[in-house]
Amino acid sequence: MSRRQTSNSIKLWDWPIRLFHWSLAASVSFMFYSGYTGNLMEQHVKVGQAVLALIVFRIIWGFIGSTPARFGSFLQGPGAALEHLREFLARKLPPEAGHNALGGYVVIAMLLLTGLQAFSGLYVSDDIFLEGPLYKTATESLADWMNSIHHTNWRILGALIVLHPLAIAAYRFWGGQNLLAPMLTGRLKWPSALTPPPFEFKEFWFVVGTAITAAVVVYGGLAVFA
């Protein structure tokens, strides 16, 4: 009779990265709703600026934040991503604490596309009621270019967002890994026979300083250039 593998609960995602994740998810959901329906467009502009601040926070946190959130902890070469895909297809995924080699590229794509969407929106106008805070500072050609980017990128970002929960479901039911629970609780079930990764988690005031820096970059920049 085979022994049942035991596991321990280890800390994986700290509260700043979970707050970022769910705040971004809620904000982007609102942006899709307001963008497609035309409702609450004044809030659409404001939430877009908040999204940009969230992206700046995540980029900074990716270099100086807690270990699992750092880009250096999960970004690997294309070969590692392909190997992970082969392991997934063969249903032989090893235990991993954090983003896997393939998921790391998805994280970067999501940050770039969401950041581009929020940034291009600063220059967009509907020529009737609303305009981005930097619209009047742009030339006509720049404004037209940003408007084109804003609408084209929206479709690409939307496709990636639709694939995201499908991938989570695939990992849960095909790969046997629950990616959702750690993002809710911050903790991961880790095999008792394996040594947990040595993670460093930042203190509260470190988080506050990073958040203030992100806010100053975005809202201070708008105050200067708008």
Q: Write out the chain's pLDDT in tens, 226 residues.
A: 344 568 899 999 999 999 999 999 999 999 999 998 989 999 999 999 999 999 999 999 999 999 999 999 999 999 999 999 999 999 999 999 999 999 999 999 999 999 999 999 999 998 777 899 999 999 999 999 999 999 999 999 999 999 999 999 999 999 999 999 999 999 999 999 999 999 999 999 999 999 999 999 999 999 999 8
Contact, 215 vs 55, CB < 8 A? no
In the numeric block, which tokens belong to residue 16?
A: 């700043």
- For residue 75, give the nearest of 112, 97, 107, 116 by alpha carbon: 107
Q: How high is the pLDDT of residue 30?
A: 97
Tokens coding 185: 């609780």
| Chain center to CA of 86 | 25
Spell 66-94 as b/e; 16+ CB within 10 A means b. bbbbbbebbbbeeeebeebeebbeeeebe
Architecture of domain 7-225: Up-down Bundle (1.20)
Predicted TM-score of the model (pTM) = 0.94
The answer to whether 7 touches 189, Cβ cutoff 8 Å, is yes
DSSP conformational letter for 127: S
With H, G, I as helix, E, B as strand and everything else as coil, classify residue 148.
helix
The residues near 9 (Cβ < 8 Å, ≥ 6 apart) are: 187, 188, 189, 190
**What is the reported pLDDT for 161?**
95
